[in-house]
Chains A and B, each alone.
Chain A
Amino acid sequence: AQRVTQPEKLLSVFKGAPVELKCNYSYSGSPELFWYVQYSRQRLQLLLRHISRESIKGFTADLNKGETSFHLKKPFAQEEDSAMYYCALSGRDSNYQLIWGAGTKLIIKP
């Protein structure tokens, strides 16, 4: 079954500390993985896609097929990073539907 797991509901780190938001997935084929972010009082927005291999706002995520993970990382957290982060998966056999994790609330303490 297709599934996305974000084991941490809440993650709290100090400003300047490294951040890692965990995402594990279950999918039998070759998935496409995404991170979406929702800042307070704002709508969900795409942060990054694994196929782009990009760094957005200092965040990166590497797809590890062996561990079936797509963890989101940032070396030095900033207060404006505080938000809800969702990991999502799309399979090649489903060119539209995303399967979502339950989300992790990231709080950056000053």
Chain B
Amino acid sequence: GAGVSQSPRYKVAKRGQDVALRCDPISGHVSLFWYQQALGQGPEFLTYFQNEAQLDKSGLPSDRFFAERPEGSVSTLKIQRTQQEDSAVYLCASSLAGGKNGYTFGSGTRLTVV
């Protein structure tokens, strides 16, 4: 596609509900990243994929967070039993290879847990 596409744009979840956030990277982009951005803060790294391989998930805040990219293109970030502190914008970014030359970001999904 022309850019990185994320859906939904907005999600309101009740505490305890499971959510799934989708990222469609630019076609051919090998690297895919998920970031979490809390209000008034810069993005915080969550996880990184190279094709279908999840090479780094050190930023996932708890075992309630899970990400996958089974076919090396679309990725899903799943959050189980959402908590209020999960409220944030979740950003997806992709790049041709690694991130050293900069990423292309999606518009993000704003998750609000009530």
Contacts and interface: CB of A to CB of B under 8 A. Distances in A.
Contacts of A44: 43, 91, 93, 105
The DSSP consensus for interface residues of chain B is loop
B100 A90 contact: yes
A49 B101 contact: yes
Contacts of A88: 42
A2 B41 CA distance: 16
Interface of B: 4, 31, 33, 40-45, 48, 55-56, 91, 93, 98-108
Interface stretch (A13-21, A59-67, A70-78, A95-103): A95-103
A57 interface: no
Interface string A27-51: 0000010100000000111100100
A46 B103 contact: yes
Count class of interface residues, chain A: 20 to 34
A25 interface: no
Given A95-B98, A102-B40, 17 more contacts: A4-B42, A34-B102, A43-B4, A43-B105, A44-B43, A45-B104, A86-B42, A90-B100, A96-B33, A96-B100, A97-B48, A97-B99, A98-B103, A100-B44, A101-B42, A103-B40, A103-B42
A4 B45 CA distance: 14
A29 B104 CA distance: 26
Interface in A82-107: 86, 88, 90, 95-103
B91 A97 contact: no
A101 B43 CA distance: 8
